[in-house]
Amino acid sequence: MANNAITLAWTGASGAPYGLRLLERLLAADYHVYLLISSAAKVVLATEHGLKLPGNPDAAKAALCEHLGVNADQLTVCGKEDWFSPVASGSAAPKQMIVCPCSTGSLAAIAHGMSDNLIERAADVVLKERGQLVLVVRETPLSTLHLENMTKLSRMGVTIMPAAPGFYHQPQSIDDLVDFMVARILDHIGVEQTLVPRWGYDQRS
Ligand SMILES: Cc1cc2nc3c(=O)[nH]c(=O)nc-3n(C[C@H](O)[C@H](O)[C@H](O)COP(=O)(O)O)c2cc1C
């Protein structure tokens, strides 16, 4: 496994453009990305972005590489029950994982260690190996159940980053709002980014 490998999961919360942009930026930053896509995430991607991904992981990878114009060598798309994937075992899994967007369903499953599909298992592995897990949760309003699940995971060191872009960078477009969230995620996991200037800096760096 490459040193700069990372696991990215797309689940069925609204916010497919965040997931796509984050994938594109991680690949541009020379990461090898293990991409996990839930069935609901595919529905959201088609609804919000018009991109219909095939069910077969290799065909989904080909479609994504063509859509984003990215290098296929850096991307592995894993199936829902691909239990032999590196992300399914602490002996091989990347130490960092981002779920973006993260549905409240996947949040609950991760908070309870369900490990019933590869996304849940991969998150469980990162938790047990004490790696870095970031959940970009989107729902509104939040129920006490959602808040308790987030609190439980936060106490274990998981980063909860609500998909809630700021407006102080004066966004002119939806892309600007998407980039705000993606920039904060990249900052958090230590990836250099120039999408949005840091607080206190006037110029884009
Ligand atoms: C277009 C669309 C938007 C959705 N938006 C959200 C959302 O913002 N947050 C959420 O928690 N679930 C949302 N859902 C519902 C989830 O997709 C659903 O609960 C699903 O079971 C989640 O499964 P997953 O976590 O395996 O992807 C949405 C579903 C669709 C089709």
- Average pLDDT of the chain, as a whole number: 95
Q: Whose CA is nearest to atom 16 of ligand 1?
A: 12
* Among candidate residues 46, 3, 20, 37, the one with its CA nearest the CA of residue 118: 37
What pLDDT band is residue 203 in, cutting at 50, 70 and 90? Answer: low
pLDDT for the residue 1: 56
Distance 3 CA to ligand 1 centre (A): 32
Gap between the Cα atoms of 103 and 10, Å rounded: 9
Q: What's the CA angle centered on 135, arms 103 and 110, to 5 degrees?
A: 70
The ligand 1 site (C-beta within 6 Å) comprises 11-14, 38, 40-41, 43-44, 47, 103-106, 138-139
Q: Is the domain covering 5-189 a CATH 3.40.50.1950 domain? A: yes
Residue 29's closest CA among 62, 2, 4, 7?
4
- Predicted local confidence at residue 197, as pLDDT: 82
Q: Residue ranges per domain, the chain?
A: 5-189
Task: Give the pLDDT band (50/70/90) at residue 205.
Answer: very low
Q: Is there a contact between 48 and 6 (Cβ–Cβ < 8 Å)?
A: no
pTM of this prediction exceeds 0.85: yes
Ligand 1 center–CA 40 separation, angstroms: 6
Mean pLDDT of 68-81: 94
Residue 64, pLDDT score: 97
